[in-house]
Chains A and B, each alone.
Chain A
C-alpha cells in the first residue's frame, strides 16, 4: 500500500504566553521557531496547515524566518506538540504514536548538534544504536556513510575538528544512520559557504534519486527552486501557495518589482505613482516605494520624477525579475530574507 509520507489536516500551533511569574521568561524566538505573530500574548506559529506529501517526493517549505517552517518540522518530528489538527508521517500519527514515527524518520537540525563527547564515527554508530541497529551493522553503515560524505579521514576525530560544512554533512550522515523512510532537513545550508552549499545540494539530489522522501525548509529561494519538486510557500503560519517551482513562478506577477528608496518617508506618493502607465500596483513602506510594472525602463525615470516633485532624493533602486521571490513579495508584501 502506498501511503503518503506526510499528511497534515488543519494543523495549528499556539505557543501560550507563560504566566508572568518572576524568573520565567517568555518563549524565546528559538523555542517558537522565530515566529513573531502575536495574538494578545500568545504566539500563533502555525494556523490551519493542510499538507500532503507523497512518498519519494523532494518537498520544500519556503518562507521567511518566523513563517512557521521550524514549527511544522517540529510537529512532524514529534518535538513540538500541535495545539490542534492532525499530522501523520509515513502513515503513523505523530500525536498517537510518536515513538513509531521517530523510528521512521531522520532529522537534520537547523544548527549542527553532534554529540561532542564522541568521535565522528561514534556519533553515527551510537545514533544507530538508539534505533536498535546492531553494532556491527551500524559500524559498517557508518563507514559507508563517512565514505559517501567525504568524512573518512575524520573518522576518529573529535567533532570540534570538523568545519561547518563537514559538521553539516555529519548531521545528514547521522540522520541516515538508521535508514529512515523520511528525511527532514531544517535550513540545512544556513551558514555554509557557497562551495559547501553546492556540495550539499549534490548530496541531497543524490539521496532523492535513491527514492528517499525529503522534506526541507529553506528561506533561500534559489535553493527551493533548484532542489524541490513541489514547494509550499508559508508565511505567518499560513499556507500561501503550493505547487511545483515552475508553476509557482508562472503565477508570479508578470511584472518586474521596482523598489526605489528615497531619503525620507514616501507617504502620499502612491496615488500619483499608480497613475503611471504600466504600473499595476504600488505600495509605500517607510522611505521605500515598491512598484509592480511591465515597463521598467520607462517607469523608473517617472518614479524618480514623482519623488523629486515632493522634494525626495533617490538613495537606492532595486529591480527583481519575475521569480519565486517576486511571487513571495506579491503574496506577502515582504521579502523572503
Chain B
C-alpha cells in the first residue's frame, strides 16, 4: 500500500507516452486520414490545373505553405477532438486517466501537447509529398528554422486547443453539424489557398478573415518557408497565434472540466 511521491511531470510523460504509443501504431492510418484531403487539393490545383494552363505555374508557390498549414492545423485539431468526442460521448475510456493523481487539467494539457506533435508530424509528411506532386518551387526555403518552429508549435497548439474546445463543448450528435458549419468554412477562408495580401482586392473580406485562426498559420508558413512571397509580418503572426492559444486553452480547459467532473 505504497504512496510514492510522484511528480506531475512524470505522470504527464506517462500520459504522453500512452498517446504516442497509440499514435505510432496507427501512424499510416492517421496520415492517410488527415492528409488525403489537402493532398488531393494539391493534385488538382498544384498539378492538373497548372498543366492545363488554367492556373499559373507560380500558384503552387502560394499554395504550398497553405497546404502545409492546413495539414498542421487539421491534424492537430482532429488528434484531440476525435478522442474527446468518443471518450466523453460513448466509451468513457479517458476515465482511467482522470483517476490519475494529478489535477484533471493536466490530462487536457497533455492532449494539446500530443495534438501539437501529431500536427507537426502531418506537416512534415505533407511538405515533401506536395512538393513532389507540384514540381520545383522557386521561393521554397527550409533554412528559416526559427520562424518555422514558432509557427509550427504555436499553430499546432492553437488548433489542438481548438480541438479540445470543439471536442468537449458539443454533444456527439452535433459533431457533423459543427464540422460543416465551423471547420469547413475555416479551411476555405483561412488564406490557405490564396495569400492574405491577395484579399486587398476585397477589403471587407480582408478584415473579416482575421477572426479565422487558420489565416495566421497559413501566413506564418508563408513567412517561414516562402519568405519571398507577400505575407503578414512574423511578429503579428506570432502575437495573434499566442492570443489564440490563450483563448482556446482557457475555454477548452473549462469545457473539458465540465465533462470530466460533474
Q: Which residues of A contact B (CB under 8 A)?
A: 15, 23, 25, 27, 31, 74, 77-81, 98-100, 102-105, 107, 109, 111, 113-118, 122-123, 126-127, 129-133, 174, 179-181
Tell me the bound Cα distance from A15 to B261 in angstroms: 12
Provide the residues of chain B in CB contact with A179, threshold 8 Å: 1-2
Complex CA gap A174/B99 in Å reads 12
Query: At the interface, yes or no: B138 with Cβ under 8 Å from chain A?
Result: no
Contact yes or no, B101 A127, CB < 8 A = no
**Cβ-defined contact, B18 with A99, below 8 A:** no
> How long is the Cα–Cα vector from A7 to B1 in the complex, in angstroms?
20
Q: When the two chains form their complex, are residues B95 and A131 in contact, meaning their CB atoms are under 8 A apart?
A: no
Measured CB to CB, the closest approach of chain B to A123, in angstroms, equals 8
Taking the closest CB of chain A, its distance from the CB of B235, in whole angstroms, is: 39
Which chain A residues lie closer than 8 Å to B171 at the CB level? 23, 25
13 intermolecular pairs with C-beta atoms under 8 Å apart:
A15-B262, A23-B171, A80-B261, A98-B103, A99-B103, A113-B93, A113-B96, A117-B25, A129-B18, A130-B14, A132-B4, A132-B7, A132-B10
Q: Is the CB of A126 within 8 A of B14?
A: yes
Q: In the complex the two chains form, is A127's CB within 8 Å of B17's CB?
A: no
- Please, how many angstroms separate the alpha-carbon atoms of A102 and B2 in the complex? 13
Q: Please give, as numbers and ranges, the residues of chain B lying within 8 Å of A104 by CB-CB distance.
A: 3
Q: Report chain B residues within 8 Å CB of A129.
A: 11, 14, 17-18
Say whether B91 contacts A74, CB under 8 Å: no
Taking a contact as CB atoms under 8 Å apart, the answer to whether A130 and B93 are in contact is: no
Q: A15-B262, A81-B262, A113-B91 are in contact. Are A130 and B96 (CB under 8 A)?
A: yes
A126 and B18 in contact (CB under 8 A), knowing A81-B261, A111-B92, A116-B93? yes
Whether A102 and B101, one on each chain, are in contact in the complex, defined by CB atoms closer than 8 angstroms, is yes
On whether the beta carbons of A127 and B102 are closer than 8 Å, the reply is no
A102 touches B100 (CB 8 A): yes
Tell me if B174 counts as interface (CB < 8 A to partner A).
yes
Q: Which of B3, B97, B262 contacts A31 (CB 8 A)?
A: B262
Interface centre among A80, A81, A98, A126, by most chain B C-beta atoms within 10 angstroms, is A126
Most buried by A among B93, B98, B99: B99
Q: Which residues of B contact A100 (CB under 8 A)?
A: 101
Task: Look across to chain A and name the residue whose beta carbon is closest to the beta carbon of B83.
Answer: A117
Most buried by B among A27, A115, A123, A133: A115
Contact check, A103 vs B101: say whether CB atoms are below 8 A apart.
yes
Bound CA span A261–B21, Å:
59
Q: Does B15 contact A (CB under 8 A)?
A: yes
Q: Which residues of B have CB within 8 Å of A81?
A: 261-262
Q: How far is the CB of B177 from chain A (nearest CB, A)?
A: 10
Q: Which of B4, B93, B98 has most A Cβ within 10 Å?
A: B93
Please give 18 more A-B residue pairs, beta carbons under 8 A apart, in addition to A79-B262, A117-B26. Answer: A27-B262, A79-B95, A81-B261, A99-B101, A99-B103, A103-B3, A105-B99, A113-B96, A115-B18, A117-B93, A118-B18, A118-B22, A126-B18, A126-B21, A132-B4, A132-B101, A179-B2, A180-B1
Q: Would A131 and B261 count as touching, CB distance under 8 A? A: no
Among candidates A113, A118, A133, A180, residue contacting B95 with C-beta atoms closer than 8 Å: A113
B201 at the binding interface (Cβ < 8 Å): no
A74–B62 Cα gap in the complex (Å)? 54
> Could you mark each residue 6-35 of chain B with 1 if its beta carbon is under 8 Å from any beta carbon of chain A, else 0?
110011001101100110011000000000
Those 4 A-B pairs whose CB atoms lie nearest each other, nearest first: A132-B6, A103-B101, A129-B14, A130-B100
Let me know if B102 and A99 touch, CB within 8 A.
yes
- CB-based contact B174/A109 at 8 Å: no
> In the complex, how many angstroms separate the beta carbon of A156 from the nearest chain B beta carbon?
13
Does B11 contact A79, Cβ atoms closer than 8 Å? Answer: no
Give the complex CA separation of A210 and B156 in angstroms: 49
In the assembled complex, which residues on chain A have CB atoms less than 8 Å from the CB atom of B100?
Answer: 102, 130-131
Known contacts: A80-B262, A99-B101. The answer to whether A109 contacts B92 by CB under 8 A is yes
Cα–Cα distance between A37 and B2 once the two chains are bound (Å) = 40
Contacts of B6 in A (CB 8 A): 103, 131-132
* Alpha-carbon gap, A103 to B63, bound state (A): 51
Q: Out of A31, A116, A130, which one reaches B91, CB within 8 Å?
A: A116
Say how far A172's CB is from chain B's closest CB, in angstroms. 13
Q: Which residues of chain B are within 8 angstroms of A130 by Cβ–Cβ distance?
A: 11, 14-15, 96-97, 99-100
Question: What chain B residues lie within 8 Å of A99 (beta carbons)?
Answer: 101-103
Q: A99-B103, A104-B3, A107-B99 are in contact. Are A131 and B174 (CB under 8 A)?
A: no
**Closest approach, in angstroms, between the C-beta of B38 and any C-beta of chain A?**
25
Contact A127 B96 (CB under 8 A): yes
Using Cβ atoms and an 8 Å threshold, which residues of chain A touch B98? 79
Selected contact of B93 from candidates A27, A115, A133, CB within 8 Å:
A115
**Bound form: Cα–Cα A124–B103 in Å:** 21
Rounded to whole angstroms, the CA-CA distance of A175 and B93 in the bound complex is 14
Enumerate chain A residues within 8 angstroms of B92, measured Cβ to Cβ: 109, 111, 113
Whole-angstrom CA separation of A27 from B171 in the bound complex:
12
Chain A residues, CB < 8 A from B261 = 78-81
- Please pick, from A27, A80, A174, the residue contacting B96 in the complex, using a CB distance under 8 A: A174
When C-beta atoms are compared, the residue in chain A nearest to B260 turns out to be A79
